Amino acid sequence: MSKSICALVHKPGSTREAFQRYYEDNHAPLAVGLFPFSAYVRNHLVDPGAFGWDTISEFWSEDIAEAASLMDGPIGDTMRADEERFMDRSRIAPGGAQETILSHGPQADEEGRRTCLLLDAGAADVERFRGWAAALAHHVSGVSIDFVTPWKQPHFPAAAVAWVPGWDVPPEAPPALRITMLKARRIETPRAMLLSQIG
């Protein structure tokens, strides 16, 4: 199974709340009916401050490149038309993600809360970030990390992302690492719904 990740933002003149609501009520169900996802998660950011995006989406498929290639045909036309309704398409920031599960367990707390720790794309010490996240995973269940390969401009706004359940502030990262900490609400499409679309 392979994975991609994407940062998305509302269109000018709209709001983060309207974007996230339309995404859940309309866009995500549309995508589920058109793509062979084996898992699909939206991480809707809560008060992202200067980060500049509203949602970080995660997509899994048996062949993520093949799934992405569907954007080159009629499915892509349908998706782009819907994207125009609620998002700033010029700022879609996708990438491939190499996912590593560091500790097993629920990926969000009971209320869907999750912390997203983004390593600045300009930071070089990815291995130090991996080590810090691995140490955190010894004490916290449900920690994972994605190492991101940008697909196109604009690039996904991080070189790596660590995901931690809940909104508790994790231990301080090494000073050399430039990390942005964001609170998110995780919403996952039920697997049975995905399987009913591709099975």
Nearest to 8 by CA among 48, 39, 53, 44: 53
Domain ranges of the chain: 2-198
> Which residue in this structure is represented by tokens 């706004």?
157
What local confidence, expressed as pLDDT, does residue 198 receive?
Answer: 52
Euclidean distance between CA atoms 174 and 183, whole angstroms: 20
pLDDT reported for residue 87 = 98
Q: How confident is residue 7, by pLDDT bands cut at 50, 70 and 90?
A: very high
Report the CATH fold assignment for 2-198.
Answer: Alpha-Beta Plaits (3.30.70)
- Any bridge partners for residue 39, and if so which? 60
**Model confidence band, residue 41 (pLDDT cutoffs 50, 70, 90):** very high
pLDDT digits (tens, 9 = 90+) for 126-155: 888 999 999 999 999 999 999 999 998 999
Q: Quick one: tokens of 52? A: 């500049």
pLDDT of 196 higher than 70 = no
**Helices in 35-149 by DSSP H: which ranges?**
64-69, 74-86, 126-137
Among 8-12, 37-41, 64-68, 157-161, the minimum mean pLDDT is found in 64-68
Reported as a single tens digit per residue, the pLDDT across 92-124 is: 999 999 999 999 999 999 999 999 999 987 767
- State the pTM of this model: 0.94
Give yes or no for residue 80 having a pLDDT over 80. yes
Q: Cα dihedral angle (80, 21, 115, 13), rounded to 10 degrees?
A: 70
**Residue 114: left if φ>0, alpha if ψ -120 to 50, beta else—which one?**
beta
In which band, very low, low, confident or very high, does the pLDDT at 177 lie, cut at 50, 70 and 90? confident
